[in-house]
Amino acid sequence: MLFPQPTDLTIDEPLEPVDAACPECGNEAVFKYRLVDYRGWLRVTKCRACLNVLDRVRIEPPAQGGA
């Protein structure tokens, strides 16, 4: 299984501060962290004040099986 079902009731993902201001609202509460959507995991850089997404990169799962 690529992404097993979590056993914890909450998932705490560490937020990595980014030295940048949001281009939409000017706030400096910009962080980089992982999140999951219906297609899988992403690494996003996002403003925590207005929720503007500055960058998003899909995290590719490792290859399964022998090739």
CB atoms within 10 A of CB 46: 21
The rounded distance, in Å, linking the Cα atoms of 27 and 15 is: 16
What pTM was estimated for this model as a whole? 0.71
Please give the tally of structural domains in the chain.
1
> Does some domain include residue 3?
no
> Does some domain include residue 34?
yes
> Does some domain include residue 1?
no
When pLDDT is cut at 50, 70 and 90, the band that residue 9 belongs to is: confident
> Does some domain include residue 45?
yes
Q: pLDDT digits over 14-50, tens only?
A: 999 999 999 999 999 999 999 988 888 999 999 999 9
> Does some domain include residue 5?
no
> Does some domain include residue 8?
no
Question: Which domain range does residue 49 map to?
Answer: 16-58
Query: Does 67 score more than 60 pLDDT?
Result: no
> Does some domain include residue 39?
yes
Yes or no: say if 57 and 51 are a contact pair by the CB < 8 Å rule: no
The rounded distance, in Å, linking the Cα atoms of 45 and 55 is: 5
The rounded distance, in Å, linking the Cα atoms of 33 and 56 is: 10
